[in-house]
Amino acid sequence: MLDYDLHCHSTVSDGLLTPTDLVARAAERGVKILALTDHDDLGGLAEAAQAAAQHAVQLINGVEISVSWRSHTVHIVGLHINPEDQALQAGLQSIRNGRGARAQLMAESLARSGIGGALEGAYRYAANPGIIGRTHFARFLVESGHAKDVRSVFKNYLVKGKPGYVPHEWAALADAIQWIRGSGGVAVLAHPGRYTAGKKPMGRTTLRELLAEFAELGGQGLEVVSGSHTPPQYAEFARYATEFKLLSSCGSDFHGPGESYRDLGRLPDLPLECQPVWQAWEDVPVPQHQA
């Protein structure tokens, strides 16, 4: 078990716990080094830092940026970023600006399928309305009896070809990497096993093209171990990390109790051939088993 968890969400994006409660839960579960990586928003980091100081957890300032690459949506995690950086803040603000209009269109699409009240319903779950997104709609769809849980919402709603889906243009890959690096952070391609092409997983050729372009643009890390990956995927993505000379990261992608693949902290070690992303951070200790 690693005591690093470098990917999770609070109520500042689509998580269920406040930054304070999230850090407390991470500490209880043995996490020593935690990155809070809310979608497109840095608003939880100050609160998380306060909580981390009380629990002897080292907080890594993070973010998960929504990116459009070709016809795909991909997520770039920024680790060890500077939350005061103006260009990063402005970039994230530009992404948030698009979310409100998208939510309106999502609600209209659901209404055409006979599901009313979705906009108000989704906003009730968005503690931070600027980050309104599919998870908040999913929670409303569960509440209103259209699906048994959040995960199954994404089989019948909010995905391509289903009610509530709205195509959206997120940030450009080059910009997201630039904002992260410009603020002193490391850009990590999140959960490579989760990307899709239509209803199918993204093919290997496309993923390799994405990795090549990501590395070329200054991307430095790959999330080899993710709560949503299987053990064979850890091995596969470790090979990609080596091939593309990327550092490796690990994170649960925890969103809330009962709503995630994995709880905070419960992650297997990175495969041995991996160069951990934290090796480059002078202020972060390297654990014994990695030394």
Q: Which residues bind Mn ion (CB under 5 A)?
A: 14, 64, 75, 190, 253
**In the complex, residue closest to ligand AMP by CB:** 133
Residue 133 partner contact from Mn ion, ligand AMP, none using kind-dependent CB cut-offs of 5 to 8 Å: ligand AMP
Nearer to ligand AMP, 55 or 168 (CB): 168
- The DSSP code for 220 is -
What is the contact mask toward ligand AMP in residues 240 to 259, using x (rule: CB under 6 A)?
---------------x----
Among 70, 112, 124, 151, binds ligand AMP (CB under 6 A): 151
Beta-sheet strands, E only, within 23-163: 33-36, 58-69, 72-79
Torsion over CA: 39, 45, 47, 49 (sign): positive
Closest Cα partner for 36 from 9, 15, 56? 9
Assess contact for 105 and 204: CB atoms under 8 A: no
**In a 10 Å sphere around its CB, with 0-12 CB exposed, 13-18 middle and 19+ buried, how is residue 46 labelled?**
exposed
Q: Cα-flanking dihedrals φ and ψ of residue 251, to 5°?
A: -160, 150
77 contacts ligand AMP (rule: CB under 6 A): no
Residue 181 partner contact from ligand AMP, Mn ion, none using kind-dependent CB cut-offs of 5 to 8 Å: none
Query: CA–CA separation, 77 vs 36, rounded Å?
Result: 10
For the chain, give the number of residues.
291
Nearer to Mn ion, 31 or 190 (CB): 190
107 contacts ligand AMP (rule: CB under 6 A): no
In this chain, which stretch among 83-91, 150-158, 175-183, 280-288 interacts with ligand AMP, using CB under 6 A?
A: 150-158
10 contacts ligand AMP (rule: CB under 6 A): no
What residue ranges bind ligand AMP (CB under 6 A)? Answer: 14, 39, 66, 133-135, 150-151, 154, 255
